[in-house]
A and B are shown apart, each in its own frame.
Chain A
Amino acid sequence: MKRIRFVHVALAAVVAALVVPAAGVSKGNAVPSSVGKGEGKLTMVVWEGYAEKQWVSPFEKATGCKVSAKYAGSSNDMFNLMTSGGGGQYDVVSASGDASLRLIYAGAVAEVNVKLIPAYKDFYKAFQSPPHNTVGGKHYGISIQFGPNVLMYNTKSFPKRPTSWNAIYSPANKGKITIPDNPIQIADAALYLSKSKPALGIKDPYELTKQQLDAVVALLKTQRPLIKKYWALASDQIDLFKNGGSTIGASWPYQVNTLADAKVPVAALIPKEGATGWADSYMVSSKAQHPNCAYQWMQYITQPKPQAQQAIYFGETPVNKKACKVMDTLSKGSCAKYSANKPETYYRSIKFWKTPVADCGNGQKNCMDLRAWTTAWTQVKG
């Protein structure tokens, strides 16, 4: 999941900033109770690798909905594409958890009727009504794929397997640690503190009060001198583990598999404190021009076969339980490799990304929002 593609993002962001996202989303959209005939067209904003020919072509053939996909460079990019010009330019978006709540609160996406998605009942329970796409019992998105943020280490440098996130806060590993350069990384430190310093009272790593955020920032500031590099692109971290002197860090399964394929001795695990992760949902624009094709797409992409194809292509985990078998027929051992056959508790142990907002559900509206997180992250990096 390449959250940040600098050049694209910069350009898109500049354009988006000038074309001030206009408001005006109708809240009174009725939730459809049936899916009608396709409109012959479907426009999507997706991550690169989410609209590949091998699973888009069969869909186009079966439904007559011609797919045109626009790749987004970051979650923010996605948000801007779905809201600029009043929205309605794109029908669906493959939003990650750090954008989905923003889209919901901005009124850019409509409520989804999950009864119209047959494969929904085959999802792991953790992905049927996750907090990043379901608000107040109403579904605003259909989960598709996810992945954990794991602790990766070089097995030669660490003959004894690290079991805790404290490995990336330990002075013993000075100059060898790499972590993502993204404000959402604050949640990883918050998760660690929620276990190592229970006195702070952190319950949800995305819902931090001022005092809790300050404690997390203090921890991250002591971590800074130990950091080899805050990596911006997955390929950065791959380079750093190959020949850049980094031996431990926070990573994604994609890097672990790429490095393992390149015969670099690495392994990864979810430490005892648990892990954060990303989870993507398809959401329908509240001004979708082709709502029937949008529903047909969600019905299709949640079926075991396209789920398996996408998981293997991208290196992530499908939310449909039945995809595991198909994965193994497509590529032997891939189901276990991407943890698509774990017990329900495994998926519950991952704290999925969600946008930090001020009104975090404690009734006091005193949580730190994404803007505060970004400022804090700038302070951490100095």
Chain B
Amino acid sequence: MTFGQISAPVAAFVFVYVAAVVVLLIQGFWTTDSFTGKVVHTWNLDNYRAIADAPYPRIIFRTIGMAAAVTVTCMVLAFPYAYFMVRVAGPRLRVVLLVATVLPLWVSYLVRVYSWRLILNPDGALNWALNLVGLPDLNIAYTNWAMWIVFTYIWFPFMVLPVYAALERIPQSYLEASADLGGRGPTTLRRVILPLAVPGLAAGSIFTFSLTLGDYIAPSLVGGPGSSLIGTVVFENLGLANNAPFAAAFATVPLAIMAFYLLLMKRLGAFESL
């Protein structure tokens, strides 16, 4: 394709997307008049400095921790699941499993979060099931544990699909070669399959990590006290305090984190598997 053919979509992308981010960055240098709530266009660094004040660092680290925990959990769950789909399941079962994986995405995000509330409530399905097998109640509704479970559930498909794609690309002959050279199951897994699955895991982690980083609905619906994430802070400043400049400045934090993360993932070959 020539430059002329693709210039229109590229221009649209630059205008709509990049321009919006630039406006965001610029707004962070402005401030609001506390009396009228209007944005005052005087340049200053106060908003960016305020990010270092309590409680924001704690909220940033909590968000990164949550995103990392969700990503690792999704990886641990998705790898065997995807491996089963690729190597063990027959063609028909594979289709069923793939549909089952993406099925939750057809349901509204809010509905899925609310259904988890019903499950985790003190007299919800979780405790009912625990009592059935003689275990005591588990009261994790409205805690960070609940948030971790809900995020893991919601972003799971975004991890499974790239890992599935990566595993499917491994030729059967590699595994046979490994076996011929005396590699048993665990050795083949560790030295052949896992290294070749890394780009898929890395690609999936970009989704799970960045989606957790920006979310503010799950913390407000299933989180408890002490569950504020970066998205919560941005929302509160934008939606309640009318302090768009600080919200803009704070929104650069996940941007910076993601830039760093993407660099890391690029080295792991994530972009070949997207």
Contact = CB atoms under 8 A, between A and B. Distances in A.
A175 to B, nearest CB: 8
B225 A21 contact: no
Nearest to B242: A76
A229 B223 CA distance: 8
B239 A9 contact: yes
B123 interface: yes
A74 B239 CA distance: 8
Interface in B206-229: 216-217, 220-221, 224-228
B244 interface: yes
Contacts of A229: 142, 224-225
Given A79-B37, A243-B124, A357-B35, A382 B226 contact: yes
Nearest to B227: A381
Chain A contact residues, majority secondary structure: helix
B160 to A, nearest CB: 27
B55 A382 contact: yes
Contacts of A357: 34-35
A207 interface: no
Contact of B238 (A14, A227, A358): A14
Interface string A149-172: 000000000000000000000000
Contacts of B34: 357-358, 369-371
Nearest to B30: A20
Interface residues of A, number: 51
A102 interface: yes
A182 B20 contact: no
Contacts of A105: 35-36
Given A10-B235, A243-B124, A382-B228, A17 B240 contact: no
Interface string B104-141: 00000010000001000111100000000000000101
Interface of A: 4, 6-7, 9-10, 13-14, 16-18, 20-21, 23, 74, 76-77, 79-80, 83, 102, 105-107, 181-183, 224-225, 227-230, 232, 236, 239, 243-245, 357-359, 369-371, 373-374, 377-379, 381-382
Given A229-B224, A381-B227, 8 more contacts: A7-B110, A10-B216, A20-B27, A83-B38, A230-B225, A244-B121, A244-B141, A371-B34
28 contacts: A4-B239, A10-B216, A14-B238, A20-B39, A21-B38, A23-B38, A74-B239, A76-B239, A77-B239, A79-B242, A80-B242, A83-B38, A106-B36, A228-B142, A229-B225, A236-B221, A245-B141, A370-B37, A370-B241, A371-B243, A371-B246, A373-B241, A374-B236, A374-B243, A378-B228, A381-B225, A381-B228, A382-B59
Interface of B: 20, 23, 27, 32, 34-39, 54-56, 58-59, 110, 117, 121-124, 139, 141-142, 216-217, 220-221, 224-228, 233, 235-244, 246-248
